[in-house]
Amino acid sequence: MAKNGQISSSVIKRLPRYYRFLGELMRQGTDRISSRELSEMMKLTASQIRQDLNCFGGFGQQGYGYRVSELHSEIGRILGVDRDFKTIVIGAGNLGRAIATHINFETRGCDLIGIFDKDPALKGTSVGKLKIMSTDNLEQFCRRHKPVIAVLCIPKSGTQEIADRLVGLGLRSFWNFSHYDLSIDHEDIIVENVHLGDSLLTLTYGTNAIISE
Ligand code: NAI
């Protein structure tokens, strides 16, 4: 079986989608599925699916297909959903609140344990089950609770500074929504920059191609 580090980044990018589709099949009571059926559902070629899934184990059997629950839990294990990574949100504005309340962290291996903002007026107010804390308390909080993932929902200007501070406090992974392509020069730090606007531009490109004036 391949270790996580040996799986190519393009396969890793497709894993959450496999995980989602397989979860859906499990909820429908499907025990096994062929690569052809999965390919029709996922709009990928059967050979792409076989290639991807061969990267991490011999789950497929000729003439039998894949055991859905086994494959689902193996992909989940690779993605880390069976873990409990302590996670904090920085920035409790519109986006930070939406993410803290609408993303299901638990089913994705994360435990959201804190939300911070630098605005003193927000301190102590609630976001779901959490009370907003001041960024002045980050050091104390991180020493005590040891979060490893930070979700950054703050403006561009403060992003690098807060990320560097968090790295010093032991944070290892950044889900960065600020409009700033964060890069941290450290081999054990992972950054996932998210720009919803980029996704919209992919859509406008496609729309441009199908709708002529
Ligand atoms: P907002 O103005 O509602 O909230 C920002 C919050 O961050 C405020 O409560 C502010 O006090 C706090 N803040 C600012 N600097 C801080 C720091 N250094 N440490 C802690 N807290 C700090 O803004 P909103 O709508 O929540 O957006 C947040 C950021 O995310 C904006 O810069 C926005 O451009 C960006 N954004 C990115 C998207 C994406 O797809 N990547 C989508 C939407 C917004």
CB atoms within 10 A of CB 142: 21
Q: Clarify whether residues 96 and 186 are in a common domain.
A: yes
> Residue 98's domain is classified under what CATH number?
3.40.50.720
Which band of pLDDT confidence, cut at 50, 70 and 90, is reported for residue 2?
very low
Q: Clarify whether residues 113 and 190 are in a common domain.
A: yes
- pLDDT tens readout for residues 120-144: 999 999 999 999 999 999 999 999 9
**Which pLDDT score is estimated for 144?**
98
List the residue whose alpha carbon is closest to atom 27 of ligand 1: 95
Residue 208 maps to a domain = no
Tally of domains in the chain? 2
Q: Clarify whether residues 105 and 177 are in a common domain.
A: yes
Phi, psi of 150 (to 5 degrees): -120, 135
Q: Report which secondary-structure segment, H or E, holds 108.
A: none
Residue 89 corresponds to which tokens in the numbers above? 């949100």
* Ligand 1 center to 138 CA (angstroms): 17
Residue 127 maps to a domain = yes
Q: Clarify whether residues 129 and 160 are in a common domain.
A: yes
Q: Report which secondary-structure segment, H or E, holds 118.
A: none
* Ligand 1 center to 98 CA (angstroms): 11
Is 45:39 a contact under the CB 8 Å cutoff? yes
Residue 206 corresponds to which tokens in the numbers above? 């496609």
Q: Clarify whether residues 95 and 185 are in a common domain.
A: yes
Containing domain of residue 178, as a range?
85-197
Which band of pLDDT confidence, cut at 50, 70 and 90, is reported for residue 173?
very high
What is the average pLDDT across 186-196? 92
Which band of pLDDT confidence, cut at 50, 70 and 90, is reported for residue 183?
confident
**Nearest alpha-carbon partner for 18 in 60, 158, 6:** 60
**Which pLDDT score is estimated for 60?**
64
Is 53:38 a contact under the CB 8 Å cutoff? no
Question: Percentage of the chain surpassing pLDDT 90?
Answer: 73
- pLDDT tens readout for residues 25-81: 999 999 999 989 999 999 999 888 888 888 766 566 667 788 999 999 999 998 999
Q: Clarify whether residues 189 and 91 are in a common domain.
A: yes
Q: Clarify whether residues 46 and 104 are in a common domain.
A: no
Question: Percentage of the chain surpassing pLDDT 70?
Answer: 93
Q: Clarify whether residues 115 and 42 are in a common domain.
A: no
* Ligand 1 center to 22 CA (angstroms): 34
**Angle between the N-to-C axes of helices 9-27 and 68-79, in degrees from 0 to 180, rounded to the nearest 10:** 140
- Pick the last residue of a domain from 77, 105, 131: 77
Predicted TM-score of the model (pTM): 0.89
Ligand 1 site, CB within 6 A: 90-96, 116-119, 135, 153-156, 158, 162, 177-179, 194-197
Q: Clarify whether residues 109 and 49 are in a common domain.
A: no
- Pick the last residue of a domain from 53, 77, 101: 77
**Which pLDDT score is estimated for 65?**
84
Q: Clarify whether residues 91 and 158 are in a common domain.
A: yes
Mapping DSSP onto H, E and C, the string for 34-94 reads CHHHHHHHHCCCHHHHHHHHHCCCCCCECCCEEEHHHHHHHHHHHHCCCCCEEEEEECCCH
* Ligand 1 center to 156 CA (angstroms): 8
Which amino acid appears at position 113 of this protein?
Answer: I
Q: Clarify whether residues 30 and 123 are in a common domain.
A: no
Q: What order of strands is seen across the sheet that includes strand 149-152?
A: 126-127, 130-134, 110-117, 85-90, 149-152, 173-176, 190-193
Residue 213 maps to a domain = no
Residue 204 maps to a domain = no
Is 178:153 a contact under the CB 8 Å cutoff? yes
* Ligand 1 center to 10 CA (angstroms): 30
**Which pLDDT score is estimated for 9?**
82
Ligand 1 atom nearest to CA at 98: 26
Q: Clarify whether residues 90 and 68 are in a common domain.
A: no
